[in-house]
């Protein structure tokens, strides 16, 4: 008579490990949900830390200004330079300004800004809050009766949500300026003609979608960095992990959101 197969000793361990991993995954999702819900609950309640919001906007915007300027200009020049050979094969180099404007305003400006902010701002916020958690400064604020969540988290998320759309708009115009210099050197197109061709193919939906993208990207970068830093593990190693997780997670979510928003915007065009 056949006997039923018995589980090997390794199989229960693998099953137990898989179950623990699944439990930890859903537990993390629940903690993220509570964190985001707590933000929307406390951000509208007084007191309002406007001074800290302005300070964080300065940290996010002004401190990133030089890097954003150089990157945006290089993106405009390189994209224009790389697009010219493909268009010249069809004798359509006159379409170059329109192609540059569509690519930059619809996708490159908000995406490049978000990726730079995720690397620079996200890692900074994650490391800062992680360091405060490790050194028990956040615990001390909670014991003293202050509201560390509102002061540390809400202000930084508001700052990224406000500053990154402004930076993305600035990057768009700087990239268009870089494209103009390349087009002017190659085809001799005047500035007025170039700008007319740049804005001709763009519609209100393009600007609206770019603004929505920037707002979503800014919120995502801020909330991810604050979450990773606020719940950093004990020890100095946790600070590094918080900074690294802030960058990697924010960049991954930015790409996912880019796909979703582009798809939604395409339905309205």
pLDDT digits (tens, 9 = 90+) for 191-245: 888 889 898 888 888 888 999 999 999 999 999 999 999 998 877 788 888 999 9
pLDDT for 10 equals: 58
In whole angstroms, give the CA distance from residue 140 to residue 230: 14
15 falls within a domain:
no
Structure tokens belonging to residue 148: 């560390």
Q: Is residue 85 part of a domain?
A: yes
Instruction: Tell whether 116 is covered by a domain.
Output: yes
pLDDT in tens, 9-48: 556 666 677 677 777 778 888 898 999 999 999 988 888 8
What is the model's pLDDT at position 8?
57
Residue 23 lies in a domain: no
| Domain region containing 103 | 48-268
235 DSSP 8-state letter: S
Of 25-34, 50-59, 90-99, 107-116, the poorest mean pLDDT is in 90-99
DSSP reduced 3-state for 26: helix
Residue 42 belongs to some domain of the structure? no
pLDDT (0 to 100) of residue 12? 67
Backbone CA torsion sign across 111, 116, 119, 121:
negative
How would you label 142-165 residue by residue, b for 16+ Cβ within 10 Å and e otherwise? Answer: eeeeeebbbebbbbbbbbbbbbbb
| CB atoms closer than 10 angstroms to residue 207 | 14
Within a domain: 20 = no
Q: Tell me, yes or no, whether 5 lies in a domain.
A: no
92 in a domain, yes or no?
yes
Do the Cβ atoms of 64 and 159 come closer than 8 Å? no
Question: How many domains is the chain built from?
Answer: 1
* CB within 8 Å of 170: residues ≥ 6 apart: 68, 69, 72
């Amino acid at each position: 008579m056949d006997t039923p197969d018995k589980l090997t000793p390794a199989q229960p361990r693998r099953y137990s490990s898989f179950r623990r991993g699944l439990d930890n995954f859903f537990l993390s999702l629940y903690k993220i949900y509570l964190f985001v819900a707590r933000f929307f609950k406390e951000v509208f309640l007084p007191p309002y830390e406007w001074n800290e919001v302005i300070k964080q906007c300065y940290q996010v915007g002004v401190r990133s200004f030089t890097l954003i300027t150089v990157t945006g200009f290089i993106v405009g020049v390189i994209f224009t330079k790389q697009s010219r050979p493909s268009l010249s094969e069809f004798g359509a180099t006159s379409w170059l300004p329109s192609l540059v404007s569509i690519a930059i305003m619809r996708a490159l400006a908000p995406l490049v800004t978000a990726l730079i902010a995720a690397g620079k701002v996200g890692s900074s916020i994650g490391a800062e809050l992680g360091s405060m958690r490790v050194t028990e400064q956040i615990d001390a604020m909670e014991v003293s009766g202050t509201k560390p969540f509102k002061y540390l988290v809400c202000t930084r998320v508001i700052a990224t949500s406000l500053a990154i759309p402004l930076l993305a708009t600035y990057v768009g115009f700087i990239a268009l300026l870089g494209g103009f210099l390349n087009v002017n050197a190659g085809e001799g197109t005047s500035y007025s003609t170039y700008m007319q061709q740049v804005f001709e193919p763009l519609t209100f939906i393009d600007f609206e979608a770019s603004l929505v993208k920037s707002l979503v990207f800014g919120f995502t970068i801020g909330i991810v960095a604050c979450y990773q830093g606020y719940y950093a593990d004990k020890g100095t190693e946790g600070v590094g992990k918080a900074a690294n997780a802030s960058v990697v997670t924010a960049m991954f979510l930015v790409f996912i959101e880019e796909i979703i928003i582009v798809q939604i915007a395409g339905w309205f065009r």
